[in-house]
């Protein structure tokens, strides 16, 4: 399951600020630029820049369905948080 969605290339963006205050443009820089490359992507790594701002697949659909079935069976009360950033 962990490596069910893997490509030959991985691209990540990193940035840093020299001052303490960040503007909205600073906060959105990585997400906006990764979104611009989205057509060339098959998914996202769960540790990527912001799963809440840029939901993308992180696991093969069949594997995610299997995980959801296991969660429904073993955690019917949803005590464990689901994965953040699930693509619809």
Please state the domain count of the chain.
1
Output the pLDDT for position 58.
84
Q: 16 vs 2, 20, 60, CA distance in Å?
A: 29, 10, 32
Output the pLDDT for position 87.
57
For residues 48 and 58, the answer to whether their CB atoms sit within 8 Å is no
82 contacts: CB under 8 Å, gap ≥ 6: 71
Token readout for 41 is: 């992507």
pTM (two decimals): 0.66
Whether the pLDDT of residue 80 is over 60: the answer is: yes
For residues 2 and 60, the answer to whether their CB atoms sit within 8 Å is no
Output the pLDDT for position 73.
96
pLDDT tens-digit map of 10-68: 888 888 888 878 888 888 888 899 889 989 988 888 776 677 788 888 888 898 889 88
The structure tokens 């069910």 sit at: 4
């Amino acid at each position: 399951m962990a490596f069910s969605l893997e490509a030959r290339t991985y691209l990540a963006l990193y940035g840093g600020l020299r001052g303490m205050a960040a503007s909205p443009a600073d906060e959105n820089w990585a997400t906006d630029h990764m979104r611009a490359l989205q057509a060339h992507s098959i998914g996202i790594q769960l540790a990527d820049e912001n799963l809440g701002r840029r939901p993308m697949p992180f696991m093969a659909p069949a594997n995610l369905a299997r995980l959801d079935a296991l969660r429904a069976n073993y955690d019917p009360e949803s005590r464990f948080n689901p994965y953040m950033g699930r693509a619809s």
